[in-house]
Structures are given as structure tokens and as C-alpha cells.
Amino acid sequence: MSDRPAFREVNFDGLIGPSHNYAGLSPGNLAATLHAGKIAQPRKAALQGLAKMRLMLSLGLGQGFFLPHERPNISWLRDFGFAGSDAQVCAQAWREEPLLLAQAISASAMWAANAATVSPAPDTADGRMHFTPANLATMAHRSHEWPQTLAQLRRIFADPRFFAVHEPVPARFGDEGAANFMRIAAPASEAGVEIMVYGEPGGPFPARQTPEACRAIFRKHGVADGLLVQQSPEAIAAGAFHNDVVAVAHENILLAHEQAFADKAALYADLTARCPDLVILEVPAREVSLADAIASYLFNSQLVTLPDGRRALIVPAECMETPAVKAWIDRTVGANGPIDAVHVVDVRESMHNGGGPACLRLRVLLSQEAERAVHPAHMLDERGADRLEALIAEHWPERIAPADLGSPDLWGHCAAARRALIALLEKPLS
Ligand code: SUG
């Protein structure tokens, strides 16, 4: 008998790609808008992301990873009529429509919480885990992620006995994946209630998740108990472009800002009826304002159960630098509440584009058998992390300034880095 529980959550993080930059492509994402035009440090960014993955491994948690996408996305640029060799396509795009080139080279696939919505096996009619890649249709630079995401999901979760990978929802109906998904199940291996959070348009910033997409996903995944919840318009207007900027759920815990949902009373009542052990950790606006929640990304922490059953919150460093948030953490963590420990991670390069610890990961709840069916090249251990780290140090650019996006050198570096990564993965990583 193994002492590992029958199911465990494996976080698949997006490896931060060599073209990470600050192009300010996401209106409504305040950090990304604020940092538009700044110099980015892709090598540092990728190492920060990897250090977070190593922390998870050191805590005894399962960790996998997705590859950065091919950037610039030449085939997407060709769809706009740019022609010739790959370098000619990029050069023409940069000359004639530099915004399109910036959109084609974005490293935004790093935010794996937006890769797909995942319904774990205990929740679905056929007992398999279901994935739907997000169409990310609202933002041009993210709308071309899904074909490469779909391909990776099909490669990593290929075994049809355990996994079903669907096509995305039609692009007319925006879907941003697990960033707008929560699940309450106690224990996690039991059937749970899946919650999808949509936004209503009409505010100052785009509402990226449509209710039609949420319902389509529940239907296609065969989810027995799916709940649709509206995000509060104040939260979107304050810069919460995804629900995971103002709420996170894990097992029987819902950690949410007081202003996260349009009708919190209805949600809390629905959840309490389904899960008698539910613990709602609501953070009142008078203790942490929406502005501080969004600046610190408190709710974009990873809430995890350690192998010994204790719960830990993996928070971005910005939380400890935001006095009201630090005070809330100091008061709450370890104080007879459901969260026993806090760990701080530095993912500042991603944070400056509005991507915190939880944005960088996709949660995948796997039975032992299903975990054995996952493509081994995408599972991480310490030795694999060492090898990735060496590769990043050699191939990822140190800095990218806005004008560099048009540089053939950068395009060449990105292609070389990708070739090296793929070659590395062809041999077992560890
Ligand atoms: O979609 N930022 C991403 C951040 C995604 C965060 N993910 C979650 N909350 N789960 C976005 O807005 C900025 C890219 C730029 O401006 O260059 C960007 O795409």
C-alpha cells in the first residue's frame, strides 16, 4: 500500500517563455497597463517561475509544466497576409502593423490558469477528467494561444481511459479557462460542486468570461453539479479581470473578497447547502480594499494541502509589502483557522503583467493511475528543474525593451530557445 492519497493535485505551470515582455496588451489588467513599455527580463522571469515550481516540489506537491508557445506565432501572422520567409513575415508585420507583431510574440501562454477549464474525474458523468482549452477570444494577443494549448493537452493527457480533451468553445463566446473556475469538494476526491464565474459587459473594462461558455463547458464535461455565478461589476471595474484575482477555492475552503461576487449571499447559501463543512474565509473590504487585493494579488495565492494534511497559502511577495494584506495574513494564518502556513514567492516579472502565483498554474487532480498516464516529459522533479534552469540561463534573453520586439535577433533567439527546449524534452528530463 502506498501512503499517497488516492488522488492528488498536480499543478502544471506555464514555463515562462523567452519573449516575455511588457507591451500593455490587456486593457482592464492594471498591472499590465502600468508596466507597458518597461524593460522586461525574460531570463529572470523564467527562473522566478521555476523557483516557484521548486518550492512546490520541496513541499512534497506534484508539479508539471507546459512549454512556452512558438513565438512569434508565424502561422497566425500569415493569416493576415504577411508572406515570405519567417523573418520576412515578421519584418513586414513589424513595419506595417507593429501591434500585430507584439500580439504574435506575446509570452502570455505562461499563465496556465487560462490554458483550459479542467473538470476532475469525480465530478463528471463518465468518470474521466475533462479539459476544454480556453478560446481567450477577448484579447487579440491571447486569442491565438488555444491551438498550441490544445496540442499540448492532447500530448500530455493522451490516454482516453482517463482524459477527454475537447475543442474550445466557439470564439464568439469568450472563455478564459480555470481562472474563472472554482471547485468545492471535501475531500477533493469526492464529487464536488464546480463553480464558473462570468462577467456582464457594460463596465469600463471588458468582461472576458461569458455565461454561454460556462454552460457549454459544464455540458461538454458532463458535470453533475455546476454552478454559474456572476462576478461583481465593481471587481471588474477595479481591475479584477479574472475571478482568481478576487477569490480562490480549495477542498472545503472558499477564500474570497467581500466584493468578489454580484450576489454573494446566494452563492454562500448554495455552497453551504451542498457542503456542510464549508469554511468561507471572506475578507472584508474595510480590512483589505479591492485596490489592495488587486495590487497585492492576495487571492491569486495557491491554496494547497501538504502531504501531512496541513494547508498552506503560497502568496506573492507583494502581499507582504501591502500593509493591510500583511496584517490580514498575520491575523489569519495559523490562528485556529483552516490555513496553517504561508510561503512567499517572488514572481515579480509575471506580476508586472498581472500574473500571480495562481495565474501561472493549472490545477489537475489526478488519481494514481491517471498520474501514471501523464506524459512523463511534462512532470517535474529536482533534476529536471536543474536541467531546465541551465537551459534558461543559456537561451533566454536577459532583457527585452519595446523596440526589441521588432528585432530579427530576438525572433532568432526565441526560435533557438524553443529548439533547445524541445531537444531537451526528447530525452528524459531526469
Ligand atoms: O490575460 N496579462 C494576462 C495576465 C493573465 C493572468 N491570469 C490569471 N488571472 N489567471 C492577461 O491579462 C499582459 C501581456 C502584455 O500586456 O504584454 C497579459 O496578457
Whether 77 maps to a domain, the answer reads no
What's the chain's Rg over C-alpha atoms?
20
Please return the burial class of 71, using the count of CB atoms within 10 Å of its CB with bins 0-12, 13-18 and 19+: buried
Whether 79 maps to a domain, the answer reads no
Ligand 1 pocket check for 297: Cβ under 6 Å: no
Residue 307 is given by DSSP the state: T
CA angle 77, 81, 83 (to 5 degrees): 80
Q: Which domain holds residue 214?
A: 11-71+106-425
Ligand 1: distance of its center to the CA of 353 in Å? 6
Best residue among 20, 21, 29 to mutate for probing ligand 1, ranked by most atoms within 8 Å of CB? 29
Whether 115 maps to a domain, the answer reads yes
> Is the link from the previous residue into 187 a cis peptide, with omega within 30 of 0?
yes
The C-alpha cell at 327 is 496584517
Write the CB contacts of 59 (distance below 8 Å, at least 6 apart in sequence). Answer: 304, 306, 312, 343
The C-alpha cell at 125 is 458523468
Give the pLDDT confidence score for residue 73 in this predicted structure: 98
Ligand 1 pocket check for 242: Cβ under 6 Å: yes
Buried b (16+ CB within 10 A) or exposed e, 297-322: bbbbbbbbbeeeeebbbbbbbbbeeb
**Grid-cell match 455546476, residue found:** 226
Tell me phi and psi for residue 268, to 5 degrees.
-60, -40
Q: Specify whether 176 is catalytic.
A: yes
Amino acid at position 85, single letter? S
User: Considering 9, 145, 176, 349, which one is annotated as catalytic?
Assistant: 176
Ligand 1 pocket check for 354: Cβ under 6 Å: yes
Rounded Cα distance, 21 and 359, in Å: 17
> Is the link from the previous residue into 122 a cis peptide, with omega within 30 of 0?
no
Rounded Cα distance, 160 and 20, in Å: 34
Torsion of CA 323, 326, 327, 332, to 10 degrees: 160
Angle of helix 408-426 relative to helix 98-105, nearest 10 degrees, comes to: 20
Ligand 1 pocket check for 350: Cβ under 6 Å: no
pLDDT string in tens for the chain (430-residue length): 445 458 999 999 999 999 999 999 999 999 999 999 999 999 999 999 999 999 999 999 999 999 999 999 999 999 999 999 999 999 999 999 999 999 999 999 999 999 999 999 999 999 999 999 999 999 999 999 999 999 999 999 999 999 999 999 999 999 999 999 999 999 999 999 999 999 999 999 999 999 999 999 999 999 999 999 999 999 999 999 999 999 999 999 999 999 999 999 999 999 999 999 999 999 999 999 999 999 999 999 999 999 999 999 999 999 999 999 999 999 999 988 899 999 999 999 999 999 999 999 999 999 999 999 999 999 999 999 999 999 999 999 999 999 999 999 999 999 999 999 999 998 767 6
Torsion of CA 82, 87, 90, 94, to 10 degrees: -110
**Are residues 390 and 68 in contact, defined by beta-carbon separation less than 8 angstroms?**
no
Domains identified in the chain, total number: 1
Q: Specify whether 359 is catalytic.
A: yes
Whether 188 maps to a domain, the answer reads yes
Give the pLDDT confidence score for residue 1 in this predicted structure: 42
User: Considering 359, 371, 395, 413, which one is annotated as catalytic?
Assistant: 359
**Are residues 153 and 131 in contact, defined by beta-carbon separation less than 8 angstroms?**
yes
Ligand 1: distance of its center to the CA of 430 in Å? 31
Whether 80 maps to a domain, the answer reads no
Whether 1 maps to a domain, the answer reads no
Helix segments in 321-402, DSSP class H: 323-332, 348-351, 368-372, 382-395
Whether 247 maps to a domain, the answer reads yes
The C-alpha cell at 248 is 480562490
Whether 294 maps to a domain, the answer reads yes
Give the pLDDT confidence score for residue 5 in this predicted structure: 55
Ligand 1 pocket check for 232: Cβ under 6 Å: no
- Provide the 3-class DSSP secondary structure of residue 387: helix
Q: Specify whether 242 is catalytic.
A: yes
pTM score over 0.95:
yes
CATH code for position 387: 3.75.10.20
